[in-house]
Amino acid sequence: MTADAVVIGAGIVGAACADALSTVGLRVAVVESRVIGGGATAAGMGHIVVMDDSEAQFALTHYSQQLWRTLSPEMPAELEWDPSGTLWVAADEEEMQAVAHKHAYYVARGVNVEVLDAAQLADAEPNLRRGLHGALLIPGDSVVYAPCAAAWLLARAQLRRASLLADRVISIGRHSVHLTTGDRIESPNIILASGAWARELLPAIPVRPRKGHLAITARYPGFLRRQLVELGYLKSAHGHDTESVAFNLQPRTTGQLLIGSSRQYDVTHTSIDAPFLARMLRRAIHFMPALEHLRVIRAWTGFRAATPDSLPLIGPAPGREGLWLATGHEGLGITTSLATGRLIADAIAGRTPAIPPEPYLPARFPQ
């Protein structure tokens, strides 16, 4: 079997890579042994958010958010696209100072943002507890149902020149991948997009699985209007503590509420850690006491692919001709998937990318 490019993994990042590669005329083979978008993609919140932890993170998230927005008119209803925005909630005066800094940062880079005081925040989200000091509203943020988005992107690629193989890659050779069936696919370009499990095929890769819990409620239409995130989430999400929780609440178009978030290093089992889940829910109730009276109907876990510097690995694998990496996105894989696909496709096609690719190149880590 031959292909112009082989994508290993059909989560949101792999599907975005296949979509982008197929748009430049390449014949793409996607290899996935499980359900499309059934790994970390299905365990994520689907938040399409522009971030400001670093210039590199801002560039990637902002670029990808623009790509998502461009695609949104074409999206079928099952993707549940919701451009309702994000409120970064400040619990005290110190966090309001952080709001002011974030506001200045975004405004300087052309992002539409608005500072809300305590009264405006209470009016915007009546179920939040009183005593909060305000928030930063980013109206351009949105939400998508990521498993369906991955399937849709892959279907777009298949309408061009992509094919899907329901199999598992057991090894990567020189310009080839070897499957459990004994088949081999030869290709000049192999894209490793298997998230936290990329190390199974490339042990030296600097990616570490980081477990997270999520919970979802029954339907309560109108209870929540926008995605809510506490400002303390930034330290939780991108710090390297062994365990952390933060308030992150998302309204779904179904009327359900998706409750996050948590992070655990050095935990590899998929089962729910009931005390840790309870800790996450208590954090949510601390910000929104009325949650205590709502019914949680399901909880689940997933594994994010984390790197030492909290930036993804996008580009050629050092010392491996024809092997490209598209992993290490941690909690921003859904947001940055489209930009990742474009950067990979631009590099393979020899096109000038829309943003500098250097901050994300795997060569920044010694092998």
* Fold: same for 5-49+146-207+309-364 and 85-139+208-306: no
For the chain, the C-alpha Rg in angstroms (whole number) is: 20
User: Residue 82 and residue 143: Cα distance in Å, rounded?
Assistant: 5
Specify the pLDDT at position 308. Answer: 94
Specify the pLDDT at position 242. Answer: 77
Specify the pLDDT at position 234. Answer: 57
What pTM, to 2 d.p., does this model score? 0.95
Which residue stretches of the chain have pLDDT < 50?
A: none
User: Residue 95 and residue 235: Cα distance in Å, rounded?
Assistant: 12
Per-residue model confidence as pLDDT tens digits over 250-275: 999 999 999 999 999 888 889 999 99
In this structure, the number of other CB atoms found within 10 A of the CB of residue 263 comes to 26
Pairing of strands 313-316, 296-306: unpaired
User: Residue 75 and residue 12: Cα distance in Å, rounded?
Assistant: 15
Per-residue model confidence as pLDDT tens digits over 23-61: 999 999 999 999 999 999 999 999 999 999 999 999 999
Domain boundaries, the chain: 5-49+146-207+309-364, 85-139+208-306
| CATH code reported for the domain at 85-139+208-306 | 3.30.9.10
Specify the pLDDT at position 267. Answer: 85
Task: Give first-to-last CA distance, the chain, whole Å.
Answer: 31
Half-sphere exposure of 75 (CA within 13 A, CB side): 22
5-49+146-207+309-364: CATH topology is: FAD/NAD(P)-binding domain (3.50.50)
